[in-house]
Chain A
Amino acid sequence: MTALLEAPAAPPERVRSTRSWAAALGLLPFLGYMLVFLGGPLFFVISGAFSDPDGRPTAANVLASITEPQYRAAFLSSLVLSAVTAVIGAVFGTFLAQAVLIGRPDSPLRRIVATASGVLAYFGGVPLAFAFIAALGQTGLATVFLRGIGIDLYAGGFRIDSLTGLGLTYVYFQVPLMVILITPALEGLLPQWREAAENLGASAWTYWRHVAFPVLAPALGGATLVLFGNAFAAYATALALTSGSIPLLPTAIASALSGNVLANQQNVGLALGFDMVVVIAVVMVGYLFLQRRAARWSSR
């Protein structure tokens, strides 16, 4: 009888002291795996970036990677392309996600968009490039159709293998990714907030401006940064669409790695990889900063 009564009460003190240890152990497989198979390659990229071909430490590769004109051009176009497609993808993705959420929770539209987003977020590379060439290339279906109704894209200076064309193609996987990332945050907007705001005299616009947007801001910012990183990392699509005619960081890395220029280019390639990791790190710090800001009013 006494044992029964004591059982639940006795352990807590001990459990608490061992809990954080045991709990951390439970995360070990996951974090360990990430460390080995993501951290490992990153380690070799960084160590290679600061070594010469014989393994002696040097900063020359990294210096070259940020000073040589062709790499600076690649840097610039990569940054611009990633930033612009991240913002466009974030804005349109949010509108699309909200448009879908207005419907009933189990509506077919919602299921179609949710599942298609999962597939299309991974859609890239040669097939995506080809789909856009088939649609908007010189003889693409959409190009021909538009010409038929009097809009000549190519006479207006458009080319599918330009930076604009590439951006248009990137948005194709950016929007679905945004839908995936932002839907939970949009679902977190409680209906009574909108009703309370309306009741207090807010229009639809003022509700979004003063209530919904501040609530969403950290999630929107975080998701946009992820989109930036996603575009920054994309490689196969650009290569397939432009055959390397537009200099981008990932294509520069790949051609440096393939080593058909000079032997020590390999280490410059790794240095370019290091540069990308630095940019990504800045992005991640921004992401964490946004999360921290949200903590001021969020209960988590």
Chain B
Amino acid sequence: MTDVITAPQATERGTAVEFRALRRTYGSAHALDGLDLALKPGELLALLGPSGCGKTTALRLLAGFDTPTSGQVLIGGKDVTGIPASKRDTGMVFQAYSLFPTMTAAENVAFGLRMRRVGAAERARRAAELLEVVGLGDRGGSYPHEMSGGQQQRVALARALAVSPSVLLLDEPLSALDARVRVQLRDEIRRVQLAEGITTLFVTHDQAEALAVADRVAVLNKGRLEQVDTPQEVYTRPATEFVAEFVGVTNHVPVEDGRIRPGADTRQVRPEGLTVGDPDGLSGTVLTSTFLGAVTRLVVTTEVGELIVDVTSRPDLPAAGEPTTVTLAP
């Protein structure tokens, strides 16, 4: 359970960003309780956890909007703990409404360069280039209120990238968008991140989002790190009970010799690890059946409790109230 892979392996290859024993308390509440975490150059690390777990605190400490109670923040091996936000060379994308309303999209993107006293012509060139990168090459003259939420977040991404920061910080950048745009922009962010090869910290409470885009996922709970690993490992081999519960839906199923056997030791099994209809299976009754498109989710009451089963949608599935059987998927 405590077999969690953390920083050491990363340190050998050099780290882009490192949190060392980072602690932040508000009064008696621990927002972060000793965080050790390192990002490798060019990787996208998703910091995942429920609200209030400390993930946003970690991001704000890295950006310099907050000061740690103890511990250090390093960027490119350099301790930046005492350096103000404006000198940290990070690029941040906020949840929403962070574009300056009096400036056009292009002026927003050029803002960081203006602060660095880059000439007007070069600013305009770079802004146009980045708007092109995020697919808004023709919207440079628009004001934020004339753009959709998704477009605004693209501009915010371009603005954060314009100064070629050493780290990109994403603070739940998709949470204010509707579902379809969210998936689109999620993939867009990943594409741009890979193209620019920029080290990225992506804070989110949405496990699907984290699993979809990240090179590695760090799961945070109550200010402590639960697990850091690739999405596949986190999903298939959760290090702790919390990770198993938080990342995806989990059944607790008594298993012996590859079969469900009441009274045996329980194992965690994902919904897609179970199936219905095998005559040798554990019998039960379908409580609810929810059509989710390609798959259908069944909740089946059995003698070992309620089991959640995801099966490929097909016409002959049992309906709610009908008897069925549950087995481990082959």
Contacts and interface: CB of A to CB of B under 8 A. Distances in A.
In this complex, the member of A199, A202, A203, A210 whose beta carbon has the largest number of chain B beta carbons within 10 angstroms is A199
A215 interface: yes
Nearest to B95: A192
A193 B103 CA distance: 12
Given A210-B111, A297-B145, A199 B85 contact: yes
B45 interface: no
Interface in B89-120: 90-92, 94-95, 97-103, 111-112, 114-116
Contacts, number: 78
Contacts of B103: 214, 297
Nearest to B117: A201
B154 interface: no
B94 A196 contact: yes
Contact of A297 (B87, B90, B101, B169): B101
Contacts of A215: 100-102
B55 interface: no
Contact of A298 (B64, B86, B99, B145): B145
A120 interface: no
Interface string B55-74: 00000000111000000000
B98 A198 contact: no
Sorting the interface of chain A by its residue count into under 10, 10 to 19, 20 to 34 or 35 or more gives 20 to 34
B123 interface: no
A196 B115 contact: no
B115 A201 contact: yes
Given A201-B112, A297-B145, A193 B98 contact: yes
A278 B85 CA distance: 51
- Say whether chain A's binding surface is mostly helix, strand, loop, or mixed: helix
A280 interface: no
A201 B163 contact: yes
Contacts of B87: 201
Nearest to A203: B86
Contacts of A201: 86-87, 112, 115-116, 163
Contacts of A193: 98, 100
A200 B102 contact: no
B97 to A, nearest CB: 6
A270 B117 CA distance: 58
Contact of A197 (B101, B111, B156, B169): B111
Contacts of A18: none
Contact of B100 (A196, A198, A203, A296): A196
Interface residues of B, number: 33
In this complex, the member of B86, B90, B144, B160 whose beta carbon has the largest number of chain A beta carbons within 10 angstroms is B86
A190 B98 contact: yes
A107 interface: no
Nearest to A294: B102
Interface string A6-21: 0000000000000000
Contact of B145 (A192, A198, A210, A299): A299
Nearest to A211: B100
A210 B112 CA distance: 11
In this complex, the member of A192, A193, A196 whose beta carbon has the largest number of chain B beta carbons within 10 angstroms is A196
Given A195-B85, A215-B102, A297-B143, A202 B94 contact: no
B159 interface: yes
B115 A202 contact: yes
B102 A199 contact: no
A200 B112 contact: yes
Given A297-B143, A298-B145, A199 B92 contact: yes
Contact of A200 (B65, B84, B111, B145): B111
Contact of A198 (B86, B95, B143, B156): B86
Contact of B102 (A190, A206, A214): A214
B86 A192 contact: no
A196 B100 CA distance: 9
Interface string A283-300: 000000000000011110
Interface string B130-169: 0000000000000111000000000010011001000001
Contacts of A203: 86
A195 B115 contact: no
B100 A206 contact: no
Interface of B: 63-65, 84-88, 90-92, 94-95, 97-103, 111-112, 114-116, 143-145, 156, 159-160, 163, 169
Given A199-B92, A200-B91, 9 more contacts: A192-B97, A196-B159, A198-B64, A199-B85, A199-B90, A200-B159, A206-B115, A214-B102, A215-B102
19 contacts: A190-B98, A192-B98, A195-B65, A197-B100, A198-B65, A198-B84, A198-B85, A199-B90, A199-B160, A200-B159, A201-B115, A202-B115, A206-B115, A210-B111, A214-B100, A214-B103, A297-B144, A298-B145, A299-B145
Closest 8 CB pairs of A and B: A200-B112, A299-B145, A201-B115, A214-B102, A192-B98, A198-B85, A199-B92, A196-B98
